[in-house]
Structure 1
Amino acid sequence: MQTPLTVMDFLDRAELVYGDRVGLVDEPVQPAESWGEVTYRRMAQLARAQAAGLDRLGVGPGERVAVVSHNSARLMTSLYGVSGHGRILVPVNFRLKAEEVAYIVEQSGASVLLVDPELDEALAGIAVKHRFVLGAGSDEVLYDFANEPVRHPVSESQTATVNYTSGTTARPKGVQLTHRNLWLNAVLMGLHFGASDRDVYLHTLPLFHVNGWGLPFGLTGLGAQHVILRKVDGAEILRRVERHGVTFLSGAPAVAAMILEAAADWDGPVPGRDRVRMVLAGAPPPTALVQRFEDELGWEFMQLYGLTETSPLVTVNRGRAEWDALPAAERAGKLAQAGAPALGTRLRVDGQGEVLVRSNTVLEGYWQQAEETEAVLKDGWFHTGDGGTLTDGYLAIADRKKDVIISGGENVSSIEVEDCLYRHPAVLEVAVIGVPDAKWGETVKALVVLKDGHRADEAELIAHCKQRLAGYKCPTSLEFRDALPRTATGKLQKFRLRSPYWEGHERQVN
């Protein structure tokens, strides 16, 4: 017997087994009215009401519903109210500029756009059939409690979400993740990171980011409690850990650095010692950060390597019994590796040093981009664009084959930033690279050649970018050059441009 694996399985079980348990604690301070504490029974009712509301609007199965929001109970419930009832959720990075969001709405063909109140004015000009600002007013329209939702058939091969990611093209690509992709990723995350109904999970990771890495699904199915955090702040994370008895969180190395910084000024013992575990991803963490994390916080450090295209789980690194007696620095070095393949995942490194993946969590394709899909899934393997090595089954990321900069866990397309700088009338040539940064892992640096007879300074060009791009994509520094090195065919040799800034670093990613 086979039954379809769909994301509704997780909320259905939570409602059945843990219906009276508070499953979700919404952010108390936010521009939209907070939902407060929500039981799993109420969360399931809200998801059904949202589906019925979409029925009432005439939004049919397979239609796309885009959401641009900070972490919130409304966004999390939409994973089920939209995707769980036959539509496709498009979670959009709330840090993007209006032009970037407009492109995603248009390219995905979304018929509904849900907007965080804080972003209402900035995103006011985006054309879409149905637009709502999240809050008490829109709740009256979006949630129909008087009618049961239409039971649209949902198969595990259907697209559940389209998650846009910055790649090597100037425009982001929409990653189609199926119900099967999300279901298996969620179960594997729970298995490898030891989730249970005793967990209290703090949402430090943005929910738009690969659907919160799938943890909202798996932890819901297990009856764990979710605590929503709207905006990341190190001291506030520690306060929530203490107040709610948090046991589990996740994020980029930059978030761990924020927590360590806040802990240094914390009055009294750091909350969560010997109780909290945190999984990091987004960029390989420095060994020193790993050691400080376990020594100073007393929290368990875990790591995964993955991509939006893999739902995201590819590898897992968690302390092994064999490492318990190792000196702290040696143990930290082992934990700083990307890790071993997740259950059911196959890895290999090709002759050019690129990491290739084969698993059930690999994307269905890029939304309406057949050529890009064919290229990335060539020869039956997903081509990550990352360079690495495999030693005794453990992957270490050594370099990035794609020109994607990962700053604070967020992908930045160097081509997109270059395209923006090229729009300035004084710019003749530009190359954008990632350079090491102690806080963010790496930051964006622009190398610019000006046109003859034109002038522009660093501040002017950075301001030019900030008017057109999300802040995290903009250069934090800029240098002027007389020329940029190119091959005989005219291609930029970015590895030569990056090399001087990475001297003394073992890896070309930080």
Structure 2
Amino acid sequence: MHKPLLVTDFLDRARDHYGDQEAIVATTGERYTYDEFGERADRLSSALADRGIEKGDRVAVLDPNTHYQLIAAYGIMQLGAVHTPLNYRLTPDDYEYILNDAGVDAVIADYEYAEKIEAVRDSVSTEVFISNDTDATEGDWEDFDEVIRSADADDYERPPMDEGEVITINYTSGTTGDPKGVMRTHRTETLHAYLITVHQEIRDDDVYLWTLPMFHVNGWGHIYAITGMGAKHVCARGVNAAEIFDVVVEEDVSYLCGAPTVLNLLIDYYEETDPETEGDNEVRIATAGSAPPEATIRTVEDEFGWYLKHVYGATETGPLITTSDARRLLPEGEERFALKKRQGIPYLGTEVAVVDEDGDEVPRDNASLGEIVVRGNQVMEGYWEKPEATEAAFSERREGWYHTGDLAVVDEHGMVSIQDRKKDIIISGGENISSIEIEDTLFEHDAVSDVAVIPAPSERWGETPKAFVVPASGDPEDPGVTEQEIREFTEEHMASYKAVKRVEFVEDLPSTATGKIQKYELREREWEDEDRMVGQG
């Protein structure tokens, strides 16, 4: 038989079987059971319906990782309206573009970020504005708690829904132009949630700490998977190393996610203060965004005692499509770290290939470079009202496969290892150099806290590797190491032509809300006086 795959099923299941179990630990101290979570979602559905929101309307949510975000997501989707989470690190101009591009009908915003919406309110067609703290929000906003308190939980009807209908739009970061709205259907969201439930080993007794932004592809699908399994959400407004360790112990957290930059924050704090790293539960952590250095994996596993899962994907792919958590393929001892930093093998039901310019798969020789392309049930429907961009994303090298723009090699087991983005490959004197390889080497240096390597102009070679280094001292004026020592360190540990030639110490690196370093900002600054960028892809 055929049963439609609907995202509303996740909360329905939790309410049916785990109604009296704790569902959410809020940032404000409240604790909600699944019955209480569900009732609040019902009340919001009713309130939105009273305000004219119907199936297919877009409702944006601008919120850090609070219980309001979870309630809003399900309250919106139960109406068949399109949940449109927003990155809280954007500018008012960004929000003006997105609200108009998506034709957003209502906005639910956290008090800390509502002013950015208020600044462009007269430039958008949005009519409903709800904040979680109107006393701290300027302008004419309705109060979230009052809105749901005055609504009748039974006073709304779910419309008929089909698994092929768009239920959420996730906007990309816009690193190569205006942000694009990635359309995801009930079916793509549901199947992706099933996949992460299996590969991330999510159980009903898990306690999940929200350090990963919920807006980012719906928290990598965890707003569905954690809920559907009847596990516990522990909310957090931001990333603070001391608070993370405290909450892990106090709430017996068993699972969390964090980009390598988050891991670095935790490691720095751990080395300074030696906190407790576990409560009553063993801890596993998923990381993605960029390959974590072997030294980082080693510290997390051997010193924290946490089990690390390195996963990979993109907003357009669900996001998660591969994992290095292939335990039968991992060797014992120190050698496992080299394999765990690879992006790994595909998730169940997912086809991942590394192809050359003709669309043919490259040899599994761990040396031949190609682009990662993917197809699977979790891949996006397309970009919102951008058919040409959608066509380009699925057609360049292999028709019908999403093209990630990531260049990789493949080993004999089919484990993928990204070497660079197409535009991040450094071509120096005709030689291709992986910035990731240089970064991984520099992470082994005790004086390096974080680093990004990009191609810099060179009259002799066309391009040469330059490293932007965040020193462990935290002070770029007193980094505790010289530029010459950094250069010599790379010369000692890798082929001479790959060694970094230029070094700049910086206080921090530009990054997205999920911790992914935005190298394009560094490249633009470095190449602003040049006519073109060699090998930019």
Tell me the TM-score normalised to structure 2 length: 0.75
Q: Is the 8 A contact 1:65 1:87 kept in 2?
A: yes
Q: Secondary structure at the match of 2:115?
A: coil
Q: Is the 8 A contact 2:78 2:158 kept in 1?
A: no
What residue in structure 2 maps to residue 374 of structure 1?
391
Aligned equivalents of 2:222 and 2:116: distance in 1?
A: 30
Which residue type is aligned with residue 372 of structure 2?
V
CA distance change for structure 1 residues 434 and 151 in 2, over 3 Å: closer, same or farther? farther
Aligned equivalents of 1:208 and 1:480: distance in 2?
A: 31
Alignment of 1:352-501 (within 5 A): 352=357, 353-378=370-395, 379-391=399-411, 392-401=413-422, 437=469, 483-484=529-530, 486=532, 492-493=533-534, 495=536
Q: Is the 8 A contact 1:13 1:221 kept in 2?
A: yes
Bigger shift: residues 106-115 or 148-157: 148-157
The answer to whether the aligner puts 1:129 opposite 2:127 as a matched pair is: yes
CA shift digits 1:126-185 (9 cap, x unpaired): 232111222372322256225421221111111111000035532110000111111011
What residue in structure 2 maps to residue 14 of structure 1?
14
Q: 1:435 deviation in Å?
A: 5.5
CA shift digits 1:291-350 (9 cap, x unpaired): 1111110100101110000111110121514536x222x111110000110000011112
Aligned equivalents of 1:268 and 1:63: distance in 2?
A: 47
Partner residue of 2:300 out of 293, 298, 314: 293
CA shift digits 1:397-441 (9 cap, x unpaired): 11102579999xxxxxx9xxxxxxxxxxxxxxxx9x99555699x
CA shift digits 1:90-148 (9 cap, x unpaired): 10000101111111111010010112101233331223211122237232225622542
Aligned equivalents of 2:41 and 2:466: distance in 1?
A: 41
Bigger shift: residues 232-241 or 80-89: 80-89
Identity rate of aligned residues, in percent? 36
What residue in structure 1 maps to residue 27 of structure 2?
27
How many residues end up aligned between the 2 structures? 435
CA distance change for structure 1 residues 288 and 236 in 2, over 3 Å: closer, same or farther? same
Q: Secondary structure at the match of 1:11?
A: helix
Q: Is the 8 A contact 1:67 1:75 kept in 2?
A: yes
CA shift digits 1:242-276 (9 cap, x unpaired): 00000000021111111112222335543259810
Partner residue of 1:139 out of 126, 129, 145: 145
Which residue type is aligned with residue 130 of structure 2?
F
Aligned equivalents of 1:172 and 1:108: distance in 2?
A: 11
Greater length-normalized contact order (CA 8 Å, ≥ 6 residues apart): 1
The answer to whether the aligner puts 1:201 opposite 2:208 as a matched pair is: yes
Q: Is the 8 A contact 2:60 2:85 kept in 1?
A: yes
What residue in structure 1 maps to residue 68 of structure 2?
74
Q: Is the 8 A contact 1:302 1:319 kept in 2?
A: no
CA distance change for structure 1 residues 319 and 485 in 2, over 3 Å: closer, same or farther? same
Which residue type is aligned with residue 355 of structure 2?
D
Aligned equivalents of 1:117 and 1:232: distance in 2?
A: 18
What residue in structure 2 maps to residue 331 of structure 1?
336
Which residue type is aligned with residue 418 of structure 2?
I
CA distance change for structure 1 residues 168 and 375 in 2, over 3 Å: closer, same or farther? farther
What residue in structure 2 maps to residue 51 of structure 1?
45
Aligned equivalents of 2:313 and 2:284: distance in 1?
A: 19
Q: Is the 8 A contact 2:24 2:235 kept in 1?
A: yes
Q: Is the 8 A contact 2:171 2:179 kept in 1?
A: yes
CA shift digits 1:183-216 (9 cap, x unpaired): 0111110101111111100000000011000012
Q: Is the 8 A contact 1:168 1:403 kept in 2?
A: no
Q: Is the 8 A contact 1:202 1:249 kept in 2?
A: yes
Aligned equivalents of 1:210 and 1:363: distance in 2?
A: 11
Unmatched runs of 5 consecutive residues or more in structure 1: 29-33, 408-413, 415-430, 441-461, 487-491, 497-510
Aligned equivalents of 2:470 and 2:328: distance in 1?
A: 31
Q: Is the 8 A contact 1:11 1:221 kept in 2?
A: yes
Aligned equivalents of 2:526 and 2:287: distance in 1?
A: 35
Q: Is the 8 A contact 2:326 2:344 kept in 1?
A: no
Q: 1:39 deviation in Å?
A: 0.4
RMSD over aligned Cα, in angstroms?
A: 3.2
Unmatched runs of 5 consecutive residues or more in structure 2: 135-142, 358-369, 426-434, 440-453, 455-462, 473-506
